C-alpha cells in the first residue's frame, strides 16, 4: 500500500448499485409548479369568536412573508 488517496471509491466499487429510478424532467417539474401556483385557493377562512379582522390566525392558506395580498 503506497498511501494513494482517491475520491473515486464509490465510482470504483459501487458503480452498479446506482438507482435505476428515473425522475421527472425539468420541464415537467416547472409545468407542475406553474399549474400548482395558478390553481390553488387564495384563502381558507377559519372562523373564531374574535372580531379582530387583522388577526393573522383567522386566515390560513398559502401566505408568504412580505407578499402583497391580491
1: in domain:
no
20: in domain:
yes
The confidence score (pLDDT) of residue 2 equals 75
* Tens-digit pLDDT profile for residues 11-61: 888 877 766 667 888 999 999 999 988 877 665 555 555 567 777 766 666
Whole-prediction pTM: 0.33
CA–CA separation, 1 and 68 (whole Å): 64
Print the domain residue range for 45: 9-60
Total number of domains in the chain: 1
Estimate to the nearest angstrom the gap between the alpha carbon of 51 and the chain centroid: 34
CA–CA separation, 24 and 40 (whole Å): 22
Amino acid at each position: 500500500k503506497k498511501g494513494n488517496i482517491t475520491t473515486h471509491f464509490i465510482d470504483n466499487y459501487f458503480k452498479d448499485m446506482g438507482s435505476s429510478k428515473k425522475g421527472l424532467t425539468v420541464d415537467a417539474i416547472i409545468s407542475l409548479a406553474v399549474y400548482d401556483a395558478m390553481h390553488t385557493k387564495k384563502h381558507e377562512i377559519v372562523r373564531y369568536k374574535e372580531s379582530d379582522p387583522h388577526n393573522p390566525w383567522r386566515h390560513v392558506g398559502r401566505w408568504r412573508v412580505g407578499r402583497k395580498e391580491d
